[in-house]
Amino acid sequence: MDRNFARALALVLKSEGGWSDNPADPGGATMKGVTLANFRRYVKADASKADLRKIGDGQVATVYRRFYWDAVAGAELPDGVDYAVFDFAVNSGPGRAAKYLQASVGVSQDGRVGPATLAAVRARPAGVVVDQLCDARLAFLKRLLTWATFGRGWSDRVRSVRTDALLMSAPATVSAPVQPATPVPRPVPTPPSVETPAGNAPAAEPALPAPVGSGVPTAAKAVGIFAAVLLIAYAAWHHIAVALQGIF
């Protein structure tokens, strides 16, 4: 039920600080935000200021839970809204915090966070309720006569509460781990295939062209050679014949 109480209390105590006994503070002496009146009411009836200054962490938690957290139904409010209302209650009283919450969600302002108030709060986005409540709270504080004294601190406190409450109200998201991209192998170029003769014998080298004039003579060449021989023989015979005529 009190899923956010410890977290909200830690944030509240950061704003409340330690010992304070400022005469201008209408709450009187306080230690870690616990007034002497509340310390006497919930912890030690006859406590003195000295006793209050020595208050333990367990006693602090008891006062905050009973007087503030339970009074505004903190365990039943949405995340973020619970802290914003709780801190408002600690700073300005549970009744006033409850009424401003009710005004923010449009229900009757009786100062008690009951079923109608809870239903109206849950029907709205938590972040919207937080913003409306913090705006109304800051406007209320600015109207107080002690704003000139405490205004700067109150303004910083409301701004811090708004920021933390909005963070608490944001839905948690779980991101899936990013898987590294699988590299796509590049295709390896395939060299052109060379057909190999059967039996894996080496491929025959291409035949070179035969040199001109080589090889067996054809019939035409043979006839030409024969004719040339006849002409030579005829020329020789004619020469001999002419020579014989000169003699005889």
Nearest to 70 by CA among 9, 18, 125: 9
| Residue 93 Rama label (left phi>0; alpha psi -120 to 50; beta) | left
Let me know if residue 123 belongs to a domain.
yes
pLDDT mean across residues, the chain: 81
Tens of pLDDT, residue by residue over 188-245, are: 555 554 444 444 444 444 444 444 444 444 555 555 666 555 656 555 545 555 455 5
CATH of residue 50's domain is: 1.20.141.10
Q: What's the token pair of residue 109?
A: 């302002």
In a domain, 197, yes or no: no
**What's the pLDDT band for 17 if we cut at 50, 70, 90?**
confident
Phi, psi of 208 (to 5 degrees): -80, 150
The answer as to whether 10 is a domain residue is: yes
Residue 50 lies inside a defined structural domain of this protein: yes
Condensed to tens digits (0 to 9), the pLDDT of residues 74-107 reads: 999 999 999 999 999 999 999 999 999 999 999 9
51, part of any domain: yes
Kindly state the average pLDDT of the residues 14-21: 86
In a domain, 193, yes or no: no
What distances in angstroms separate CA 31 from CA 3, 35, 53, one per listed residue? 25, 7, 6
Q: Which domain holds residue 124?
A: 5-169
120, part of any domain? yes
How many domains does one find in the chain? 1
The string of pLDDT tens digits covering residues 51-70 is 999 999 999 999 999 999 99
Q: List the structure tokens of 78.
A: 């949405």
Look up the pTM and report it: 0.66
Q: Is 231 a member of any domain?
A: no
